[in-house]
Amino acid sequence: MTSRRAVPRGRSNPPRWNRRSASRRWGTRLAPSTVPPKPPAIPRLWRRVRRTIWTWWLWGAGAVYALATDHYKSAIGFALAAFAFAVTRPREKAPALGLDHEFSTSSDEFLASMVGATGVAFLAGNSVTVLNNGDRFYPAMLEAVKSAQRSITMEAYIYWDGEVGRLLADAIAERAAAGVKVKILLDAIGSSTIGDDILGRLQRGDCQVAWYNPIRWYNLDRFNNRTHRKSLIVDGRIAFTGGAGIADQWRGDARSPEEWRDLQVRIEGPGAMPLQTGFAHNWLETTGELVSGEEFYPPAGPTPGRVDVQTILSSPAGGSSSVRIMYYLAIACARDHVWIENPYFVPDEVAIRTLTDAAARGVDVTIIVSGRYNDNRLARLNSRRLYGYLLEGGVRILEYNRTMLHQKTMVVDGLFATVGTTNFDNRSFSLNEENNVCFVDRTTVAAVEAAFMSDADASDEVELDAWRRRGWVAKGSEFLAQFLKDQV
């Protein structure tokens, strides 16, 4: 018999259950401090009370107790409240640290950080036009649609019945009948009043229309996630985006309360492609169809301009709002001025600290918000409640009282500007699908600045003493509204 040579066994890794764990003392020792460098001005008590009220498991425990004590109606009420609070709670992780920067918007570090932090590069070779009010952007959109040769895609939170909607539907249907591929994605809540007339016109033109996130029993856990994007892309090369939906209140030139004030941008060139990408992702999620082909993604051609464009897509699925990161980083790097226009301005504690820190180092921080003409009373109450912290920190607040102001823009130091769909509130940062386009071209930035200065001339400045003297009814309403701050 042949003897078997003994083969030494190699030492295998011990099973996971038998491995030695790291000591608990290392749990947070190497992590950055989670305590903000400067405490927020807002009293922590009310912040904690609000968050406690919106803790779903607390209401769930109430439901279990009520059920155990045979209070069935109360148990149903507690259970419904727990479900509502669970599905509407913010899921986004906002930055609280790393917002103190020694470099400015004029430095190479700023653009590199903006690209790295958002994960989105600037695309060169674009032509960009800033379009103020419906008298300018609706005709430009209709002209682009009528010139379409291969594809038209649209994503809209608001598409309502009216003259503007019918004109656009007729133009789109005509091109679809001529062989242009048309895909339209409408938010199931925001565009629910589009009406049978417009849908019939689109159907007769053989257009494809899908509804983003309709309310169904099996997706109630995400009913609060809406697409708030407004994008129109023609042939994959021309794109429009901004604050405006498709509805008659955006017609005109902001001359009266019946004509809303808003701003859109027209992008021609490679910068249109990311908006197409955003549409394609949500179309795939909604319909299961992959958008592909040269009709939607044309090969690179001659560049029509010289503007670098960064298009940031924000979605709660990502876990952190890229648009919020863009806003906070730009404000932290400002050295001369930060000018923001936003109708629903409800900053969180970190945003307030970032804005007041900028004002403290000599930056002109001016914010224009929608004033007495505001279609969201809850957002306005929460915004006015926070005025004091901003005014005491040196921030100027102007209220636009000519009509409803609806654009979402920011200009920093005359070097950087952003235009998009994102409101400066938790709903846009944490719950909605949004998009913003950013520019570092001085001509484009100057056009956004000119719009801001014109609106500032038509606005009323909020004085700290006057704000403090507001009545008890206003203060009481604002106090109650704060408990829904994270959901507006």
Give dist(CA 413, CA 96) in Å, integer: 23
Q: Which of 418, 421, 405 is nearest to 449 (CA)?
A: 418
Position 1 scores a pLDDT of 47
8 Å CB contact between 180 and 205: no
Short-list 241, 262, 264, CA closest to 253: 262
CA trace torsion 414, 420, 424, 430 (10° rounding): -130
SS3 160: coil
Q: What is the tens place of the pLDDT at every residue in 203-241? A: 999 999 999 999 887 776 677 789 999 999 999 999 999
Query: CA nearest 411: which of 348, 358, 341?
Result: 341
CA distance linking residue 312 with residue 120, whole number of Å: 7
Q: Please state, in angstroms and as integers, the Cα–Cα distance from residue 28 to each residue in 24, 96, 227, 436, following that order.
A: 8, 17, 37, 36
Count CB-CB contacts under 10 A for residue 480.
Answer: 11
Residues of the chain with pLDDT under 70: 1-54, 56-57, 85-99, 220-221, 317-320, 483-488
The residue written with tokens 């109430």 in the block is 62
Q: C-alpha angle with apex 64: 63 to 69, nearest 5 degrees?
A: 100
How far is 366 from 461, CA to CA, in rounded Å?
Answer: 10
Tokens at 343, concatenated: 């109708």
Name residue 292's amino acid. Answer: S
Ordered DSSP codes for 124-145? EEEEEEEEESHHHHHHHHHHHH
